[in-house]
Structure 1
Amino acid sequence: MKIAFWSNVRGQAGVTTNMICVSALITLGGIGRTVLLENHYSAYGLSEMLLQGDKIESLREYGEYFNRYSIEYIMKRLYSGEDGEKLIHQASIPLLFSNMHYVPQSQIVNREVFEYEFHIVKEKLFEALETTSDYVFIDTEANRNLSTNIILEEADLVVVNLDQNPMHVKDYFDHYASLQEKTVFLVGNYRPEVSYNIQEICKEYSVERDRIVGLPYHFELEESVKNGTVLSFLNRSYFQPMNKENEYFVRQLKRACRMIRKKSVACRREKMRFSKENQIGEVFSIM
């Protein structure tokens, strides 16, 4: 199951944080194995949020980001004809008792080369990722580059991350309506007391209430993200919430996970049905 996290604005809606939270809860809940990756380099991306500083420095010191632990490594080897499933196991970093895997991106990124290689091996890459995990979570770039467009097209579900800025929300609904059929919405750092809340978004843009969830702002989560201890925070909060704030956050996060799982299954079934109908149509056209 391929699930893309995307936003039409950069650095405002908590795309990476939201994706980590959802994927971690699915993993902790025993719902399925997960793998996380990104198609863009960020100075403060998945690596910094998932891995503590000493682990990151160790990988950098020995050059293993590029030589072994990276999506670039996997793509180059796939292009050479190597086994995809084996490559994923070799190049990913196990987390949460090895039920979650993270495939980092090299610090040395040539954007043009990355886009070209991704386009060439995308089928093999997606097949390998889905073979090794139940849920493939992909953090995509806001500017809709080639690889982002491919991922959004191939994904079973697109999780659009919004903020509570009316202009940003309007920009999404004005310019990205083509994504609507397989989209759910998360409002990051959600503050229900703000006048432009979920009720207003649903009313203004006719969004079904079961397709949008607000993930509340949480100071402890923000601090854990900065320190690279977000998985420890989520693990602790999931099994034994220490206060009402944690309990409320986990409750909303569970709502988001249920929404994403339900919609992703429905979208995948529709995608398979459409593909089957096309195949039947091609057979009859040949006859």
Structure 2
Amino acid sequence: MNIAFWSNAYDKSWAFLNFAGVSIASVMRYPYRITLLENYLDKTNLGKAFFLDNISYNRDGIVSFYEGKGIEGLLRRIYRGDKDPSLLKYYRRAVIPKHLYYIPQNGVINSNLFDYELYHNFHDLNRIIQCNTDLCFINVNQQNHLSSKIILQLADLVVINLYQDSDYLRNFFSNYSSLISKAVFIVGNYSMKSPLSCKRIAKLYEIPLEDIAPIPYNENFHIACKQGSAIEFINSNYFCDKESPNYLFIHGIRKAAYIILQKAEKNLALAKRG
């Protein structure tokens, strides 16, 4: 099952931090194997958040695409016709063994070429991933990329990162209404002082309040992601009490994970019946 994370206010909603946090929280309590990937190349990627020895980008950029590892190397193997599901074990890295895996970036090609390759090989890549995992979480760039379109189209569930601003909310509900039927919502960078509370957003746009999770920005988690210690941060704060400065953030990612996986379980059950 594919679950895409997307936002029309990617930076303002801190969608990257939400994706990292929810991904970790999703395997803290639930017995799934989840594979993570991104449909864009950037130095700020999940490898940097998860691993102290992040080597997603080579130092001098000399390594050719044909020698690449990570997601680029896997796409090249698929393009050449090698579509054996066992390939994945050579290109993904365990974040939490037996539960959470990440297909890292190697940064050996430019973003436009990567987007083109991902778009044309996504069906085969997806089949390989589905043979090795229960759920696939894909962090989708908000820009008008070829691969973004096919990923959102084929996703079984779309996690929309909203932003508490009238213009951004109108933009999403006016221009991306086709996603709503298979969406759950995160309100990122959430402020309780904003008049656009989750309850207000639910009422204005006629979406179920139980499908919305507020996640405030958390500077401590942001720092942890820069230092490759996102896992350690979530582990040490997962059961923090209400007096903790990290409580609202942890509560938000735990609620989001619960909503997402409840929806996923229903979809999986329906698929088995079908």
Q: Same fold (TM over 0.5)?
A: yes
- DSSP 3-state at the match of 2:245: helix
* 1:26-175 map, 5 Å: 26-52=26-52, 55-57=53-55, 60-61=58-59, 67=67, 69-175=69-175
Structure 1 pair 60/108, CA: closer, same or farther in 2 (3 Å)?
A: closer
Deviation larger for 170-179 or 261-270: 261-270
Tell me if the contact between 1:84 and 1:125 (Cα under 8 Å) persists in the aligned partners.
Answer: no
Q: In structure 1, how many angstroms separate the alpha carbons of the residues matched to 2:182 and 2:220?
A: 32
Q: In structure 1, how many angstroms separate the alpha carbons of the residues matched to 2:155 and 2:30?
A: 22
CA RMSD in angstroms, aligned pairs only: 2.6
Deviation larger for 171-180 or 95-104: 95-104
Tell me the residue number matched to 1:279. Answer: none
1:192-242 CA distances to partner (integer Å, 9 max, x unpaired)?
Answer: 122222122112111210111101232321221232211110111125669
The aligned amino acid for 1:50 is F
Tell me the residue number matched to 2:12. Answer: 12
Q: In structure 1, how many angstroms separate the alpha carbons of the residues matched to 2:92 and 2:207?
A: 37
TM-score by structure 2 length? 0.88
Give the superposition deviation at 1:184.
Answer: 0.7
1:106-134 CA distances to partner (integer Å, 9 max, x unpaired)?
Answer: 31333443333323322221111122111
Tell me if the contact between 2:37 and 2:103 (Cα under 8 Å) persists in the aligned partners.
Answer: yes
Gaps of 5+ in 1: 277-287
Structure 1 pair 197/4, CA: closer, same or farther in 2 (3 Å)?
A: same
Tell me the residue number matched to 1:244. Answer: 244
The aligned amino acid for 2:164 is Q
- DSSP 3-state at the match of 1:161: strand
Deviation larger for 181-190 or 256-265: 256-265
Give the superposition deviation at 1:61.
Answer: 4.8
The aligned amino acid for 1:76 is R
Gaps of 5+ in 2: none
Q: In structure 2, how many angstroms separate the alpha carbons of the residues matched to 1:15 and 1:41?
A: 16
Give the superposition deviation at 1:103.
Answer: 0.8
Tell me the residue number matched to 1:284. Answer: none
1:34-81 CA distances to partner (integer Å, 9 max, x unpaired)?
Answer: 1111011223222222222xx125862598896453211111111223
Give the superposition deviation at 1:98.
Answer: 4.7
Tell me if the contact between 2:156 and 2:182 (Cα under 8 Å) persists in the aligned partners.
Answer: yes
Number of positions where the alignment pairs a residue of Structure 1 with one of Structure 2: 272
Q: In structure 2, how many angstroms separate the alpha carbons of the residues matched to 1:11 and 1:183?
A: 20
The aligned amino acid for 1:134 is D
Give the superposition deviation at 1:171.
Answer: 0.6
TM-score by structure 1 length? 0.84
Question: Structure 1 vs Structure 2: percent identity of aligned residues?
Answer: 29
Q: In structure 1, how many angstroms separate the alpha carbons of the residues matched to 2:91 and 2:235?
A: 24
Tell me if the contact between 1:69 and 1:92 (Cα under 8 Å) persists in the aligned partners.
Answer: no
Q: In structure 2, how many angstroms separate the alpha carbons of the residues matched to 1:105 and 1:130?
A: 19
Tell me if the contact between 2:75 and 2:117 (Cα under 8 Å) persists in the aligned partners.
Answer: yes
Give the superposition deviation at 1:105.
Answer: 2.3
1:182 aligns with 2:182: yes
- DSSP 3-state at the match of 1:245: coil
Deviation larger for 101-110 or 206-215: 101-110
Deviation larger for 127-136 or 175-184: 127-136
* 1:190-205 map, 5 Å: 190-205=190-205
